[in-house]
C-alpha cells in the first residue's frame, strides 16, 4: 500500500475495466442494423471510388524522403536559434558543419536526378 | 574546449573521407571510378594514422568517447578490414552493376559507426554507433539490386536488426532506471552501492541479447544464413568480420571491463550461449551445399569460440578475444575474397561444385583457399590454431575446462566441412566451367594480404599478442 505508484495501478485497472465494460455493453445491448452504405469503406464521407491499390509514380516516395530530411534540418535549426547567444561561436560552427553535411546531401540528390519531376 | 574533441578525430576523419568520396563520385565519369578506390583507401589510412597519433588523448564529451589503446586497436582492425573489403569488391561491384561510389561511401560510413562503438564509454553513444553501422550495412546488403536474394537479405537483416535494437534500447532504459545513468563509469560506480537488483539484471540481459543478435550467437542466429547468402560476397565478408568485431569490442568494454562486478550474473548465460552457438554453427555447416552458406554457419561457430573468451574473462581472456578477432578477420576475409573471385556474371559461384578443379584452373586462389580453410579448422601453424590455442588456454586457466573440451570437439566437426572444400578443389575434375577470371589485381592483392597475414599470425603471433595486451591494459 505504501508504494507511491499504487494509485497508478488503480488507474490502470480502472481504465481497463471501463474499456472492457463499454465494449461489452456495445456488443450485447446495441442494435445491429447493417446497410449497404455502412458496409462501404470509409472515404471521408464521399462515395468510395475505385480500388485503394493504384499505381503511382515512385517519385512521390523520393520527394517524401527528401522532404523529411530537409524538414528535419529546419527543425534542428530552431533549438539552435533559441539558444544562439548562449552557444556563441561554438554553436555557429557546429551548425555550419551540420548545414554543410545537409547541403552535400542536397547536391548529391540534385546530381543524381532526384529532383527532376518528370 | 578544443582538446575535448581530439578523441572524436578518427571517426570525424572517416566521415570526412566518406563525404569526399561521395562528392567525388558525382564528378567522375564512369570509366574513372578507380580514383574512388584510392581515395577511400587513403581516407582509411589517414583515419588509422590519426588514431595512432592521438592514442591516449583525453576523452571527449565528458569521457563518453575514449581514444584509449583499446579503441585504437579496434580502429586499426576496422580500417584494415574495410580496406580489404573495398579491395575485394572493386571487380565484383563493377561486374554486378552495383553503384560503385555509394558502395565505398557506405563501407566508410559503417566504419564511422564501428569506431564510435569501439570508443564509446556511454550506452547511448554506443547505440548511436551501432545504428550508424547497421543502417549502412542494411543498405550494403541490398546493393545488388537486380538480384532478388540481395533484396531479401537486406529486408531480413533490417527487420531482425530493428528487432535486436529494441532489445538493446530497452536494456539501456532499465539500466538507467536502476543506476541513474547511461555513462558506463557512473554505472560502474553505482554497482558498488545499493541498487534495484532485479531491474539491473533484466537490463544487463537485454543488452546481452541485443549484442548476441549482432554477433549472431545461437539462438539469435537464425537470420544469418539467408542474410549472408543473399548479400554481395564482399558485403558478407564485411558483415561477418567487421560488424562482429565491433559488437565484440562493445562486449569486451561493457561486459568484460565495466560490468566485471556483475560477472557472476551474466557468465552462466554467456557460457550457455557459447556452447549452443559453437555446436549449432558447426553441425549445421556440415549439411550445407553452398560454400558461402557454409561460411555463414562457420562464422556463427566462430562467434561461439569468441564467446569462450568472454566467459574466461580477465586479462588472459580479453587478450585471447582480441587476438582471435584479428586472426578470424584475416582468414574469414580471405575465404570470402576467394568466393568473390569465383563470381560468374549473373550469379554467385559459391556452390561446392564451383570449386571443383580449382586447384588446376587457378592454383594461386586454390592454394590461398586451402590455407584459409585449414586455418579456420585450426591446423597449426596458421592463425586459427594460435587463436584457438589462446582461447582454450584462457578457458582452462579460468576453470572452464568443459568449455575448452566442447570447443575442441567442435573444431573436430568443423574439419569435415572445411576439408571438403579442399577436396573439391584438388580431387575433383573441372566440374562447372566458371567464366574466365579476368585479371582482378585488387582482389588478388586482398587474397595475398590475408593469406600472408594468416600465416604470419600463426607463426609469429607475438606482435599481435602484445598489441592485444596493450589494448587490454589501457582499459584499466
Tell me which H or E stretch contains B136.
helix B123-141
Inter-chain residue contact A90 with B1, CB threshold 8 Å = yes
Helices (H), chain A: 6-29, 36-39, 59-82, 84-111
Query: How far is B26 from chain A, CA to nearest CA, in Å?
Result: 7
Write out pLDDT tens, residues B382-403.
999 999 999 999 999 999 999 9
B27-34 LR contacts (CB < 8 Å, sep 24+): B28/B101, B33/B94, B33/B100, B33/B101, B34/B90
B238 backbone φψ class: left, alpha, beta (φ>0; ψ -120 to 50): alpha
Chain mean position to CA B195: 35
Taking the whole predicted model, whether its pTM rises above 0.95 is answered as: no
Is it the case that residue B6 has pLDDT exceeding 60?
A: yes
SS3 at position B290:
strand
Instruction: Tell me, yes or no, if B1 comes closer than 8 A to chain A by beta carbon.
Output: yes
pLDDT for the residue B307:
93
- Average pLDDT, integer, range B117-131: 94
Chain A residues closer than 8 Å to B26 by CB? 107-108, 111-112
Write out pLDDT tens, residues B154-181.
999 999 999 999 999 999 999 998 888 8
Between CA B398 and CA B396 the distance in angstroms is: 5
A118 burial class (0-12, 13-18, 19+ CB within 10 angstroms)? Answer: exposed
- Average pLDDT, integer, range B173-196: 84
Write out pLDDT tens, residues B415-432.
999 999 999 888 887 655
Backbone angles phi, psi at A46, to 5 degrees: -80, 155
Task: Give the end-to-end CA distance of chain B in Å, rounded to a whole number.
Answer: 25
Inter-chain residue contact B23 with A107, CB threshold 8 Å = yes
Closest to B145 (Cα-Cα) out of B102, B177, B115: B102
Which residue in the block uniquely carries the three cell numbers 584509449?
Answer: B68
Write out pLDDT tens, residues B34-79.
899 999 999 999 999 999 999 888 888 888 898 999 999 999 999 9
Cβ proximity of B4 and B60 under 8 Å: yes
SS3 at position B183:
strand
Is it the case that residue B194 has pLDDT exceeding 70?
A: no
Write the DSSP assignment of A84-113 as a string of letters: HHHHHHHHHHHHHHHHHHHHHHHHHHHHTT
Cβ proximity of B206 and B170 under 8 Å: yes
Q: Which residue has the higher pLDDT, B167 or A35?
A: B167
Q: Report, in angstroms and rounded to the nearest whole number, the Rg of chain A calculated over CA atoms.
A: 27
- Average pLDDT, integer, range B465-474: 89
Cell of B287: 549439411
Is it the case that residue A54 has pLDDT exceeding 90?
A: no
- Average pLDDT, integer, range A89-118: 86
Choose the closest CB to B23 out of A90, A104, A112: A104
Which option is the CATH number for A59-111: 3.40.50.300, 3.20.20.105, 3.30.70.1070, 1.20.58.1610? Answer: 1.20.58.1610
pLDDT for the residue B436:
47
Inter-chain residue contact A111 with B1, CB threshold 8 Å = no
Over the range B382-391, which residues count as b (16 or more CB within 10 Å of their CB) and which as e?
A: bbbbbbbbbb
Contact residues, chain A to chain B, C-beta under 8 Å = 90, 101, 104, 107-108, 111-112
Closest to B40 (Cα-Cα) out of B21, B65, B23: B21
Which residue in the block uniquely carries the three cell numbers 587463436?
Answer: B387
Chain B residues closer than 8 Å to A112 by CB? 26
Assess whether the previous peptide bond of B219 is cis (omega < 30° from 0): yes
Between CA A70 and CA A107 the distance in angstroms is: 12
Residues 16-75 of B with CB under 8 A from A: 19, 22-23, 26
Chain B residues closer than 8 Å to A102 by CB? none
Write the DSSP assignment of B55-118 as a string of letters: TTEEEETTTTEEE-HHHHHHHHHHHHHHHHHHHHHHHHHHHTT--HHHHHHHHHHHHHHHHHHH
**Domain edges within chain A:** 59-111
Task: Give the end-to-end CA distance of chain A in Å, rounded to a whole number.
Answer: 67
pLDDT for the residue B417:
92
Inter-chain residue contact B26 with A111, CB threshold 8 Å = yes
* Neighbouring C-alpha atoms within 13 Å toward the C-beta of B48: 17
A16 burial class (0-12, 13-18, 19+ CB within 10 angstroms)? Answer: exposed
Q: What dihedral angle (degrees, nearest 10) is formed by the CA atoms of B31, B33, B34, B35?
A: 120
Between CA B316 and CA B393 the distance in angstroms is: 9
Is it the case that residue A73 has pLDDT exceeding 60?
A: yes
**Domain edges within chain B:** 2-473
Q: Report, in angstroms and rounded to the nearest whole number, the Rg of chain B calculated over CA atoms.
A: 21
Inter-chain residue contact B22 with A111, CB threshold 8 Å = no
- Average pLDDT, integer, range B136-150: 91
Backbone angles phi, psi at A115, to 5 degrees: -100, 0
Which ipTM score applies to this complex? 0.77
Between CA B154 and CA B168 the distance in angstroms is: 20
pLDDT for the residue B191:
81
Instruction: Residue A56: count other Cβ atoms within 10 Å of its Cβ.
Output: 7
Query: How far is A37 from chain B, CA to nearest CA, in Å?
Result: 39
Instruction: Residue B473: count other Cβ atoms within 10 Å of its Cβ.
Output: 14
Between CA B98 and CA B446 the distance in angstroms is: 20
Cell of B384: 586459427
Assess whether the previous peptide bond of B367 is cis (omega < 30° from 0): no
Between CA A96 and CA B116 the distance in angstroms is: 22
Cβ proximity of B451 and B306 under 8 Å: no
**Which of B17, B19, B139 to probe the A interface (max A CBs under 10 A)?**
B19
**Which of A101, A108, A109, A115 to probe the B interface (max B CBs under 10 A)?**
A108
Is it the case that residue B351 has pLDDT exceeding 90?
A: no
Between CA B4 and CA B19 the distance in angstroms is: 23
SS3 at position B122:
strand
Amino acid at each position: 500500500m505504501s508504494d507511491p505508484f499504487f494509485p497508478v495501478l488503480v488507474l490502470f485497472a480502472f481504465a481497463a475495466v471501463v474499456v472492457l465494460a463499454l465494449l461489452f455493453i456495445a456488443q450485447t445491448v446495441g442494435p445491429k442494423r447493417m446497410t449497404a452504405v455502412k458496409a462501404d469503406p470509409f472515404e471521408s464521407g464521399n462515395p468510395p471510388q475505385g480500388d485503394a491499390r493504384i499505381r503511382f509514380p515512385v517519385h512521390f516516395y523520393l520527394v517524401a524522403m527528401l522532404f523529411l530530411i530537409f524538414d528535419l534540418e529546419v527543425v534542428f535549426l530552431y533549438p539552435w536559434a533559441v539558444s544562439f547567444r548562449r552557444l556563441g561561436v561554438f554553436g555557429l560552427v557546429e551548425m555550419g558543419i551540420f548545414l554543410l553535411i545537409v547541403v552535400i546531401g542536397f547536391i548529391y540528390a540534385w546530381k543524381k536526378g532526384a529532383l527532376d519531376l518528370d | 574546449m578544443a582538446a575535448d574533441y581530439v578523441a572524436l578525430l578518427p571517426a570525424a576523419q572517416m566521415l570526412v573521407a566518406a563525404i569526399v568520396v561521395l562528392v567525388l563520385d558525382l564528378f567522375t565519369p564512369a570509366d574513372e571510378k578507380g580514383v574512388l578506390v584510392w581515395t577511400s583507401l587513403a581516407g582509411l589510412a589517414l583515419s588509422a594514422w590519426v588514431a595512432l597519433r592521438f592514442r591516449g588523448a583525453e576523452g571527449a564529451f565528458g569521457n563518453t568517447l575514449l581514444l584509449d589503446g583499446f579503441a585504437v586497436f579496434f580502429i586499426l582492425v576496422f580500417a584494415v578490414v574495410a580496406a580489404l573489403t573495398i579491395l575485394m569488391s572493386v571487380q565484383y561491384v563493377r561486374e554486378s552493376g552495383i553503384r560503385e561510389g555509394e558502395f565505398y561511401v557506405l563501407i566508410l560510413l559503417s566504419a564511422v559507426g564501428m569506431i564510435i562503438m569501439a570508443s564509446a564509454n556511454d550506452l547511448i553513444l554506443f547505440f548511436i554507433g551501432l545504428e550508424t553501422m547497421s543502417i549502412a550495412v542494411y543498405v550494403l546488403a541490398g546493393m545488388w539490386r537486380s538480384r532478388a536474394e540481395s533484396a531479401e537479405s537486406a529486408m531480413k537483416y533490417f527487420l531482425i536488426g530493428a528487432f535486436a535494437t529494441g532489445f538493446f534500447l530497452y536494456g539501456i532504459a532499465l539500466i538507467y532506471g536502476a543506476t541513474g545513468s547511461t555513462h558506463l563509469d557512473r554505472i560502474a560506480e553505482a554497482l558498488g552501492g545499493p541498487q534495484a537488483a532485479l531491474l539491473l539484471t533484466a537490463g544487463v540481459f537485454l543488452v546481452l541479447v541485443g549484442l548476441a543478435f549482432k554477433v549472431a550467437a545461437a539462438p539469435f542466429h537464425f537470420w544469418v544464413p539467408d542474410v549472408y547468402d543473399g548479400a554481395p560476397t564482399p558485403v558478407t565478408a564485411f558483415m561477418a568480420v567487421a560488424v562482429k568485431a565491433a559488437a565484440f569490442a562493445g562486449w569486451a568494454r561493457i561486459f568484460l571491463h565495466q560490468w566485471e562486478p556483475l560477472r557472476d550474473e551474466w557468465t552462466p548465460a554467456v557460457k550457455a550461449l557459447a556452447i549452443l552457438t559453437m555446436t549449432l554453427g558447426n553441425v549445421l555447416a556440415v549439411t550445407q551445399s553452398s560454400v558461402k552458406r557454409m561460411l555463414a554457419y562457420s562464422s556463427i561457430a566462430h562467434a561461439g569460440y569468441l564467446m569462450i573468451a568472454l566467459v574466461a574473462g580477465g586479462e588472459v581472456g580479453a587478450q585471447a578475444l582480441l587476438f582471435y578477432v584479428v586472426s578470424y578477420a584475416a582468414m574469414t576475409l580471405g575465404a570470402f575474397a576467394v568466393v568473390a573471385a569465383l563470381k560468374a556474371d549473373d550469379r554467385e559461384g559459391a556452390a561446392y561444385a564451383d570449386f571443383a578443379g580449382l586447384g588446376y584452373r587457378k592454383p594461386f586462389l586454390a592454394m590461398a583457399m586451402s590455407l584459409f580453410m585449414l586455418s579456420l579448422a585450426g591446423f597449426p601453424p596458421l592463425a586459427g590454431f594460435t587463436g584457438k590455442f589462446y582461447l582454450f588456454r584462457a578457458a582452462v586457466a579460468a576453470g572452464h575446462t568443459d568449455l575448452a573440451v566442447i570447443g575442441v570437439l567442435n573444431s573436430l566437426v568443423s574439419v569435415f566441412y572445411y576439408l571438403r572444400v579442399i577436396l573439391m578443389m584438388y580431387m575433383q575434375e573441372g566440374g562447372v566451367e566458371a567464366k574466365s577470371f579476368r585479371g582482378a589485381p585488387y582482389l588478388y592483392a586482398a587474397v595475398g594480404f590475408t593469406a600472408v597475414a594468416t600465416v604470419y599470425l600463426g607463426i609469429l603471433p607475438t606482435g599481435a599478442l602484445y598489441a592485444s595486451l596493450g589494448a587490454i591494459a589501457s582499459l584499466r
